[in-house]
Each structure stands twice: as C-alpha cells, then as structure tokens.
Amino acid sequence: MEKRRIAILGSTGSIGRQALDVVRQHRDMFDVELLTANNSSRLLIEQALEFGANSVVICNEDKYDEVADALQPHYVKVFAGMDSVCDLVGGDNIDIVLTAMVGFSGLESTIAAIKAGKTIALANKETLVAAGEIVTRLSRECNAPIIPVDSEHSAIFQCLQGAHGAPLSKIHLTASGGPFRTWEKEKIAMVTRKEALNHPRWNMGQKVTIDSATMMNKGLEVIEARWLFGTEPEKIQVVVHPQSIIHSMVEFEDGAVIAQLGHPDMREPIQYALSYPSRLSLDNRKLDFAELGELTFHAPDTDRFPALGLAYEAIRTGGNMPCIMNAANEVAVDAFLQDRTGFYDISGIIGETMAGVDFVREPDLDTIFATNREATAKARDILKRHLR
C-alpha cells in the first residue's frame, strides 16, 4: 500500500481518537495532514504534536488563541471556524478525508471534500440521512468514492468485495438492540440518561449511544444503507443480534448469504476504510468460535422502540422527510442528554416534527439546509411541551 495522507474531521471524538490509534500502529502508512475539532482544544493540541499534523482547525473561534499559541511554535498551521474546514479539506496535500463529526453540521465540509474529489471515509451518518441522494450523486459526479466506516456498512461493503456487481436481494442489518433490549415498555419510559449511556457492546460517542438505546441509530443506518448501496428500504431488514459478532450480511438472488464477523471494535472498520482495498494488521481481539458458543437473532420491536418505525416511514416518504426526522432527533437527543426530557419524548418529538414541517419531494441542497433550520426550530418548539 502506498502511503496515504489523511484529514480527520472531528479528531477529538470517539471515532477520531480510534482512527488516530490505527494511525499510531501504522505510522509508516499514514501521514496526518489535517485535524479538526469543535471545542476540545487541549486534546487537539496534543494530537497535532504527536502526529505532526500540517494544519489544524478549531471550530470554536474563542479557542483559536489557545491553540495557535501552543502549535505555531511547532510550525503547525492553525485556523478557526467551520469555513476553514471547508477550505482546507480540498487541499492537494490530502488523499482521504475521514468525516467523524457528529450530526448535520458535518454536511457542509463533507460536500466540500466530495467536490474536491477526495476519497471519503464516511463516519458521519447524518450526512447521508439528511442529503443521501445529493451526496451520493455528487460523489459519482466528482469521482469521490465513499467508503463506509459505520461497522454495519463496512461489513456490507466488505461482503460485496468479489461480488462482481451481482445484485443484492437483501441486506440483513444487524442491531445489538441496545441496553434496553429486554426491558418492558413501562420501565423503558423511566430510563435515565446514565442508563441510556451504558451501551452493552460498543464504545461510542454520546449521541450515537443514545441513538442506539432508542434504536434510531438503526433507523439512521437503514437510510444510510439505502443510499450507500442503492438498495430499496423494503430490501433492508433489521435483525437484532445481541452479541454484535456479525456486523451485517448481504443476500444474493440465489439465497446465498455472506456475513462479516468480528468482536465489536470500531478500529477495524475505521482501518479498513483508511487502507481499502488493502488490509493491515490490527492488535484487536480475534474470534474463537468454540468460546462464543452461540449467536442469537430476533426481530426488532417497533412498539417498544418506535424511533425505528419512524425512520422507515421517513425513508419511504423520501424527499426532505429524513432530513426533518434527523433534525428533530438531534434536538430531542440533546435535550435528553441534558436531562430535560424523557426517553419516549425523543420519538414523540420526532413524530410530531415530521408531521409539522413542510414536505418537499425533490429538495436541492439549499432546500436541505432550509429544512434542517426549519425542522430544528419546530422541534425546539415542540420540545417545550415535552420538558420534564
């Protein structure tokens, strides 16, 4: 594999830190060119020094002086603000852009990277949920391939290597079921932020951990898969698999099913996206099937986890509906993380927002940004009736 020059957007978050751990193990394979962070100035400074980054961006402009004072003596170029991310991500010194920011706010810089023809290692699923049709079309037009980082989509992508373009008849998208998989509805209604943040299988950031607890994460992933693999939503079947060993499966027309397996560790899909189509060694835990004993599966329950049903409704409706749903989810999850609203209020707020924002069948990018603003405002308004 030829050495690759990478940009990590959101380097101080969970995915960003695990990506740098991958780089740490293969220093001869990767050059870290650009690191960006929202707020975590101290970690950004540490990372830039350890990896000899060429440039960094701190999005919170109030922290520019702190970062510049620490890094400029070491000849690291320091910038502030989201506009700088969009400017720098297209630089000639970058081959691969890992999009590891959280939420809709990652869309602008992802589009900038695609327009510059970069290879996108995509971890920011909200980008594809809100604007999947536009983003995937731009990726084809600009020759900017999107390699999935999300473990399920990486699994599907890996299963498709060597398929020679054979059409998929189904995607079996596995779900851990989250921390409340076996809980009664009445008990789920009372769960706290702390309980929801305690995910049984995966080590992830706060937003995606809450999304996993509501199963909205799986809904977002159905939409993500729909756009990444061009698969109709009715061919994407969610199956709860509590052990999280099978990361997802594809089924072909002859009924053959191919799966990708491993212990849950995000560094594996991150590394594959950065090294694709090569594979590199990784110091992760390897599978011992005799020790595993058994793997189990069951259907998801959209009565106890209504967010999953809302996501299917959004993708079937199409247009700007997934964008509306995503915006409402971001508002509701943020409120839940601040202990301002209850667990089932999250899906309540999403449902009410989906019914209350103007539907647009064929949105362009400007419409998507406008929809996100409108749906965010609407959801904040609806939230007032759902406060604890």
Binding site for Mg ion (CB under 5 A): 150-152
Q: How far is the CB of 180 from Mg ion (least distance, A)?
A: 17
CB-wise, 152 or 352, nearer to Mg ion?
152
CB of 320 to Mg ion, least distance (A): 24
**Closest CB 183 distance from Mg ion, rounded Å:** 21
**Residue whose CB is less far from Mg ion, 60 or 237:** 237
Q: Which is nearer to Mg ion, 151 or 371 (CB)?
A: 151
Which burial class, exposed, middle or buried, applies to 377 when counting CB atoms under 10 A from its CB (0-12, 13-18, 19+)? Answer: middle
**Residue whose CB is less far from Mg ion, 289 or 297:** 297
Q: Least CB distance from residue 247 to Mg ion, whole Å?
A: 8
Instruction: Tell the smallest beta-carbon distance from residue 242 to Mg ion (Å).
Output: 15
The structure tokens listed for 109 are 């810089």
Which residue number, 4 or 247, has a Cβ lying nearer to Mg ion?
A: 247
Closer by beta carbon to Mg ion, 47 or else 231: 231
- Closest CB to Mg ion belongs to which residue? 150
* Beta carbons within 8 Å of 33's beta carbon, 6+ residues apart: 5, 6, 7, 53, 54, 55, 91, 93, 94
Peptide bond into 264 cis (omega under 30): no
Nearer to Mg ion, 45 or 238 (CB): 238
Least Å distance, CB 224 to Mg ion, is 9
Taking the complex as a whole, the smallest distance from the CB of residue 150 to Mg ion amounts, in Å, to 4
Judged by beta carbon, residue 241 or residue 378, the one nearer Mg ion is 241
Cβ closest to Mg ion, residue 152 vs residue 330: 152
In the complex, what is the shortest distance from the CB of residue 152 to Mg ion, in angstroms, rounded to a whole number?
5
Minimum Å gap between C-beta 221 and Mg ion is: 6
